[in-house]
Amino acid sequence: MSRINTTIGFLTFCLIVVGAQLSHASSIIEDEEKDKIDDWEYVIETKNKELIFQRGMHTNSAKFTAPKMQVMAEAMKMRVSPGPVADRLGFSVGGAKDADNFFQNIEEGYLPRYSSLTYEGLFYDYTFDTGQQESCENFFCPSYARGVKKDLFSSKTDYYLSVGLNSGLSKESFQRKTLNLVVVLDISGSMSSPFNSYYYDTNGTRKHQREEVPKSKMEIANQAILSMLSHLKDSDRFSMVLFDNKGYRAKPLREVGKTNMQAISGHILDLHPRGGTNMSAGLRTGIEQFKTISNSLKNPKLFENRIIFLTDAMPNRGELNKGGLFSMVKDAAKSNIFTSFIGVGVDFNPDLVEYITKTRGANYYAVHSNEDLKKRLDKEFDFMVTPLVFNLELQLSSTDYEIVGVFGSPEANLATGQMLKINTLFPSSTKEEEVRGGVVLVKLRKTGQSNTPVYLKISYDDRSGKTYSNSNMVQFYPNNYHWDNKGIQKAALLSEYVSLLKNWLLDGRKSCNDTVSQPFPCFSYYREGLINPDSRPEWKKIKTWEQTPCLLEVSAGYQKLFSIFRTHFAAEMTSLKDPTLQKELDVLDRLISQANKEKIDDWRVQ
């Protein structure tokens, strides 16, 4: 009994200490924010048409519950302890910055969306030896590496060229400009659904076997915004826009140092989902906020102007055309207002966002968990909002080779037989002299009989619009199977992995809720080799909008393909001595074990 009383006493003491710490944190925040402005404007209309005012002047911003105080205290702690950044920086391309939505769907037992897995998104999960031989003394220093190998399935000879994205920037020389940030938040009804399930799962086909109650997408998004706000400086400006059926300005664009950020954080945590999903209205309202400040305060030489758009990307109102939303982002970029998308939830629609973020200065992340997003923001927030290189073009001159595939760039469809184009490069961290996401892989086809060198000319624009260019030359030796370095070897392996999985996603969705033409159920790899799935006509016919889930299934034919590729992947992983590739091997194992042997065997080797 004495031991029990002692334990109870100790727990009571701990609760008192925690309460005191929260109270102290509250006191610190109140003192700092006391003389600042709570300029929150959002007004909620209830079902009874009663208006509940949430404007700053009508709220007591000091009255927050303990959970809210804890979230805000954690945000303050993040602000004073940023994560480490490597001394040397490199570059990575725009577009997807992870493949988390793909992995999350696999984990939850769903068939992922086609665009949930991208080459550039997966590349950004890894670091690469870029093949840089000399120190980079310039702003951007491309480097090149070669690879020649046999195709795993067709035994044809594949030629690869990697473009290494190196920079003369260092941690000390890099500093983002003052930021004008507009956060646009989806508060539509679909944001009320659990983070790990599909909002449009009307059939109830999948039941979760979890003891804990999963957070809603709205809760995850609200906490993600608070994490982002912790990285703002007093000189930055911040605005908040919300959208459901319509777009609303919740907070005007004002300097952080003059804003009661404690009160604003409380208002954000109070937000609840409602209504339809009008993404175009939210984006349009977000863009309009930049008109409220003078041109001198958004001069791109001095300021970063960025919209961060948080959504599950399932619009059912407003502009439902991908090109329409793309045009809005593209037109804003012409005024140096760039856009980042953060996809929330397992049912986040990457097909739409991946298309939109092919434009200048754009990128996107998929939130796998709030903790993961915090880690990313801790190290990458300044990188995420700072595009540095634009209009990168690689001109290839050769009578014997042509480009047949580009991997690691969202603008791969802009490649021709002789030209590669990339809209944007963002700064990227390095680890042990390797650049995170720091390569773009070009696959070549030999078209001539001779073996003349391949001449390369690269050009790009910096932030001020100044154009730079340089030239180089590479020589391939047919049938001399080799890799110049482990960076291009790893990039080729990961590109093959993504190509195989995306072909599976394309074929797998034919039996779910997408209507595409009926080619071979299991594509003829033995004849064509491991092809780029984006070259297949079916992918253009995939549905984009509100979609019910497809359960995870693997045909017998794809099980055989995955088994063959797994052996190859494991051997390459050993050669590369990179244990971080294990997670991709785990995915292959999961898919191989998932095969539904009661279905037709669609293996068509003759």
Residues 94-116: tens digit of each pLDDT: 998 989 889 988 988 888 888 88
Query: What integer pLDDT is reported at residue 182 of this predicted model?
Result: 98
Look up residue 320 and give its two tokens. 């439902």
Look at residue 319 and tell me whether its pLDDT is greater than 60: no
Residue 47 confidence (pLDDT): 44
The per-residue pLDDT for 602 is 53
Q: What average pLDDT score do residues 462-472 get?
A: 91
Higher pLDDT, 426 or 404: 426
- Alpha carbons 182 and 225: distance in angstroms, whole number: 11
Contacts of residue 421, Cβ cutoff 8 Å, sequence gap at least 6? 391, 392, 393, 394, 411, 414, 415
365 or 316: which leads in pLDDT: 365
Mean pLDDT of the chain: 81
Please give the average per-residue pLDDT across 41-60, as a whole number. 52
Q: What sign does the dihedral 332-333-338-340 (CA atoms) show?
A: positive
Q: Which helix (H) or strand (E) holds 166?
A: strand 157-170
DSSP string over 372-437: HHHHHHHHHHHHHT---EEEEEEEEE-SSEEEEEEES-TTGGG--SSEEEEEEEEEE-EETTEEET
In this predicted structure, what is the pLDDT of residue 515?
Answer: 56
For residues 301-313, average pLDDT: 91
Share of the chain above pLDDT 70, in %: 75
Q: Are 534 and 413 in contact (CB under 8 A)?
A: yes
Cβ atoms 306, 181 nearer than 8 A: yes
Mean pLDDT calculated for residue range 287-295: 96
Instruction: Mark residue 380 as left, alpha or beta (left: phi above 0; alpha: psi -120 to 50; beta: remaining).
Output: alpha
- Report the pLDDT averaged over residues 326-342: 93
Of 424, 186, 220, 464, give the one whose Cα is nearest residue 308. Answer: 186
Q: What is the pLDDT of residue 525?
A: 65
Measure the CA–CA gap between 487 and 220, rounded to whole angstroms: 35
Question: Where is pLDDT greater, at 72 or 503?
Answer: 503
- Classified as helix, coil or strand, 108 is helix
Cα–Cα distance measured from residue 88 to residue 159, given in angstroms and rounded to the nearest whole number: 30
Instruction: Give the pLDDT of residue 46.
Output: 46
**Higher pLDDT residue, 199 or 243?**
243
For residue 293, the model assigns a pLDDT of: 95
- Tell me: pLDDT of 519 over 80: no
pLDDT of amino acid 414: 67
Percent of the chain with pLDDT over 90: 44
Tokens of 463: 């932030």
**Which of the four pLDDT bands, split at 50, 70 and 90, describes residue 229?**
very high
Tell whether the model's pLDDT for residue 419 goes beyond 80: yes
Rounded Cα distance between 332 and 287, Å, is: 7
Report whether pLDDT(165) > 90. yes
Which positions ≥6 away from 106 have C-beta within 8 Å?
112, 552, 587, 590, 591
Average pLDDT, integer, range 472-480: 87
Which residues, in sequence order, are CB contacts of 207 under 8 Å at separation 6+? none
Q: Does the pLDDT at position 231 exceed 60? A: yes
- What is the chain's alpha carbon radius of gyration, rounded to the nearest angstrom? 25
Dump pLDDT digits (tens) for 126-162: 999 999 988 888 889 999 999 999 988 888 899 999 9
Q: What is the mean pLDDT of residues 14-36?
A: 56
In sign, the C-alpha dihedral spanning 540, 541, 547, 550 is negative
Q: Return the higher-pLDDT residue of 582 and 205.
A: 582
pLDDT surpassing 70 at residue 491: yes
Neighbours of 72 (CB within 10 A): 24
pLDDT recorded at residue 210: 45
Q: What is the pLDDT of residue 523?
A: 59
Residue 93: pLDDT above 60?
yes
pLDDT at 60: 39
Identify the pLDDT of residue 291. 96
pLDDT score at 526: 60
Comparing 262-266, 527-531, 586-590, the range with the smallest average pLDDT is 527-531
Mean of the pLDDT values across residues 204-227?
Answer: 70
Q: How far apart are CA 451 and CA 564, in angstroms?
A: 33
Query: pLDDT confidence of 80, banded at 50, 70, 90?
Result: very low
Domains of the chain: 127-172+389-485 (2.60.40), 177-196+214-384 (3.40.50.410)
Contact 271, 218 (CB under 8 A): yes
The reported pLDDT for the residue numbered 9 is 57
Selected residue with higher pLDDT from 471 and 277: 471
Lowest mean pLDDT among 259-263, 405-409, 423-427: 405-409
With cut-offs at 50, 70 and 90, classify the pLDDT of residue 321.
low
pLDDT at 256 over 90: yes
pLDDT band at 207 (very low <50, low <70, confident <90, very high): very low
